[in-house]
């Protein structure tokens, strides 16, 4: 077989590893984590339970969950120099750039960052996973001239603690549940681009901090995690429900993408989007105002798009980024912080995949199909 015959642009359909973590059934619109359907987890689990599931391949008992929550308390501390360094970041820097830099900086706090024993990798995974909310919330406050707020881990669960550190006020129960559900829904998703980046870095025998930094850099792109931010800016640009149809016609004429609709793998409804649509609708009903406005715009845009032959023929439906934009906006997350919140969820999957890669590692080294010239003749520079 020739190189050309083997070429799979974007590695589409190429299997690069076996995993027990998650599986996307694209034609069925189904997603499982370690065998559990995402709808069951979204409706009944907590994010801490899902992290435990991904790390241990089983759901915890009550006693195991209590111990797990107690053990994570030691991993929520952020060294002062991380926040000190943030004060020197450009205040207009994208929050994903700040997150990428701060997470990389955590390696400077680890006395043995290159220790790749299973025990230390697990400890570093714990450190990054539970510290990430403080980094994200801390940067939001620092860039606005405020002091970071101390964590209340132990008093508050993960989602509630993040909202506390972000705003400095006790969050309402609905906002906590919405954020917790969002974190569950995005915790893992097969061999997506950022997870693949983390596993590639790990396969070189690099450290966990480098692998997570690679993943964050990959997630930042608008074709991956940055799509939720782009979707929200799209709704803001539309501005009112009566503008949806003319906006859509103009966007299609200009060849613009409708952000948040369509998915590389799902050929029917994204099960995560189904859950988030229901959450966004509930938020719209209870909060009204801008939340209701943007939910109504989003709902109308889907109706218009799904009536268009292009979207019908290609089986394009809302993906996880679409309604998550409305949900995150509703709980008070700034638009440019949407993708860091995605990372705050996906860190559970990234770390689980890194642990899995280490358990049975082989360097990930695909080939490229060279299509350039061959047998060129060298000419001296004055003869060219």
Q: What are the pLDDT tens digits along the chain (384 aa)?
A: 445 556 666 676 677 788 999 999 989 999 999 999 999 999 999 999 999 999 999 999 999 999 999 888 777 778 889 999 999 999 999 999 999 999 999 999 889 988 888 889 988 999 999 999 999 999 999 999 999 999 998 889 999 999 999 999 999 999 999 999 999 999 999 999 999 999 999 999 999 999 999 999 999 988 888 889 999 999 999 999 999 999 999 999 999 999 999 988 888 899 999 999 999 999 999 999 999 999 999 999 999 999 999 999 999 999 999 999 999 999 999 999 999 999 999 999 999 999 999 999 999 988 888 889 999 999 999 999
pLDDT score of 60: 97
What is the enclosing helix (H) or strand (E) of 329? helix 320-330
pLDDT score of 7: 65
Q: What domains can you pick out in the chain, each with its CATH number?
A: 22-223+335-359 (1.10.580.10), 227-330 (1.10.230.10)
Catalytic residues: 263, 321
What is the pTM assigned to this prediction?
0.92
pLDDT score of 9: 65
What is the rounded CA–CA span in Å between residue 105 and residue 210? 10
147: which residues sit within 8 A by CB, 6+ positions away?
141
pLDDT score of 295: 96
pLDDT score of 78: 83
| CB-based contact 276:270 (threshold 8 Å) | no
Q: How far apart are the first and last CA of the chain?
A: 37
| CB-based contact 307:259 (threshold 8 Å) | no
pLDDT score of 117: 87
Task: Using alpha carbons only, give the angle 314, 320, 321 rounded to the nearest 5 degrees.
Answer: 100
pLDDT score of 6: 63
Q: Where are the beta strands (DSSP E) in 131-211?
A: none
pLDDT score of 1: 44
């Amino acid at each position: 077989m020739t190189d050309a015959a083997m070429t799979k642009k974007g590695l589409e359909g190429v299997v690069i590893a076996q995993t027990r973590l998650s599986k996307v059934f694209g034609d069925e619109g189904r997603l499982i984590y370690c065998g559990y359907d995402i709808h069951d987890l979204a409706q009944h689990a907590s994010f801490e339970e899902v992290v435990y599931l991904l790390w241990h391949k089983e759901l915890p008992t009550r006693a195991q969950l209590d111990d797990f929550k107690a053990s994570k308390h030691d991993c929520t501390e952020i060294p002062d120099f991380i926040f000190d360094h943030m004060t020197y970041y450009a205040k207009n820097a994208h929050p994903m750039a700040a997150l990428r830099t701060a997470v990389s900086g955590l390696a400077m706090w680890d006395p043995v960052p290159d220790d790749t024993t299973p025990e230390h990798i697990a400890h570093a995974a714990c450190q990054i996973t539970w510290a990430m909310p403080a980094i994200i919330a801390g940067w939001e406050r620092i860039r606005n001239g405020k002091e970071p707020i101390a964590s209340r881990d132990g008093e508050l669960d993960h989602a509630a603690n993040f909202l506390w550190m972000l705003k400095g006020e006790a969050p309402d129960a609905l906002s906590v549940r919405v954020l917790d559900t969002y974190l569950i829904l995005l915790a893992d998703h097969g061999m997506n681009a950022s997870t693949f980046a983390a596993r590639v870095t790990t396969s070189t025998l690099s450290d966990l901090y480098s692998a997570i930094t690679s993943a964050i850099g990959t997630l930042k792109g608008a074709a991956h995690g940055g799509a939720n931010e782009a979707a929200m800016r799209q709704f803001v640009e539309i501005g009112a429900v009566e503008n949806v149809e003319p906006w859509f016609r103009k966007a299609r004429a200009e060849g613009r993408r409708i952000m948040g609709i369509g998915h590389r793998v799902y050929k029917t409804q994204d099960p995560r989007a189904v859950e988030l649509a229901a959450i966004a609708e509930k938020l719209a009903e209870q909060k009204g105002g801008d939340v209701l406005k943007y939910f109504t715009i989003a709902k109308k845009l889907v109706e218009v798009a799904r009536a268009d032959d292009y979207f019908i023929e290609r089986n394009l439906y809302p993906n996880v980024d679409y309604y998550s934009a409305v949900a995150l906006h509703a709980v008070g997350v700034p638009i440019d912080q949407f993708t860091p919140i995605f990372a705050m969820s996906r860190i559970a999957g990234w770390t689980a995949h890194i642990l899995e890669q280490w358990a049975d590692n082989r360097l990930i080294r695909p080939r490229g199909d060279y299509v350039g010239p061959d047998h060129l003749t060298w000419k001296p520079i004055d003869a060219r």
